[in-house]
Amino acid sequence: MDTSSVPSDAERELAELRARAYGPDADIQTDPAALARLWELEATHLPRPPKPADDELDMPGASPGGEPVVEPSATGGHAEGAGPRGDISPDIAASEIPPLSGWRGAAATRGGRATIVAAALATVLAVGYAVGWLVGAHPDATLRPTADEASNAALSMIHFLDAQPDATTIRGYESYRGIEPWFFENEQGYNCFMLVTPPAYVDGANCVPPGVDLFADMALFSESVAENSEPLPAGSIIRFHYLADRVDVHVYPASHTD
């Protein structure tokens, strides 16, 4: 059986890695180990100088191995025009190795490979964030802080709840449909969040330990009509999600029935 045309394991592996690098479904940029292996195999398959013909071996100055014998000069130890080894000219050696271009050339060095890997990871993260933004629920409104001390309505509700807040932690946010979100820390160090509807109505008051997700819901028992907003039917729920620097509002309208 003629095995001269049967590729070796290394050749098959190189072919597979080249397909992953240069094929239509290239994905090797996300696999640093495969990328490093590709360049290791590429280095072993670089073209080598052609073997000299038999008549060239009989030329004066030729060595039995086919390489010219260069006598050292009297000044530098190497013949003029010879490379560091005295047997290969730098210009000739450079011309025998095909230059690498584009990202292949960058991947031939350790720093270049690190740059490619970092770029690939950044791309993956960017795609992940984009997908999360498209799939995730967007708030219907975002409320920003407006006050660092409680209003009269907020103080009345705090006293009604018999809470003992740290006055320096009280923070109010923009209102939504006439509902004011307020945050404070109580005497136990818990984070508290309440929804106040002036002049004197509180809903969704909630206190949780630090680090626990904090939100409050407002249930509408009658239709809500607000300026520049769509009416909300009775039974709708408005969720206020506390996030320190802001409050995200998510509206869940009740289903209409005939």
Q: Is the confidence at residue 11, as pLDDT, over 60?
A: yes
Q: Of 102, 184, 110, nearest to 194 (Cα)?
A: 184
Give 85-112 as a DSSP string.
TSSS-HHHHHHHSPPP-HHHHHHTSHHH
Check residue 136 and give its pLDDT.
Answer: 53
Summarised one tens digit per residue, pLDDT across range 36-76 is: 888 888 787 766 556 656 555 555 555 555 555 555 544 44
Summarised one tens digit per residue, pLDDT across range 226-253 is: 766 788 888 899 999 999 899 999 999 9
Confidence band (pLDDT; 50, 70, 90) for 178? confident
Check residue 125 and give its pLDDT.
Answer: 52
The position carrying tokens 């590429």 is 42
Confidence band (pLDDT; 50, 70, 90) for 156? confident
Contact between 28 and 20 (Cβ < 8 Å): yes
Cα dist from 131 to 77, 122, 128, 136, whole Å: 66, 14, 5, 8
Q: What count of Cα atoms within 13 Å lies in the side-chain half-sphere of residue 23?
A: 11
Share of the chain above pLDDT 90, in %: 21
Q: Is the confidence at residue 78, as pLDDT, over 50?
A: no
Contact between 198 and 209 (Cβ < 8 Å): no
Check residue 25 and give its pLDDT.
Answer: 78
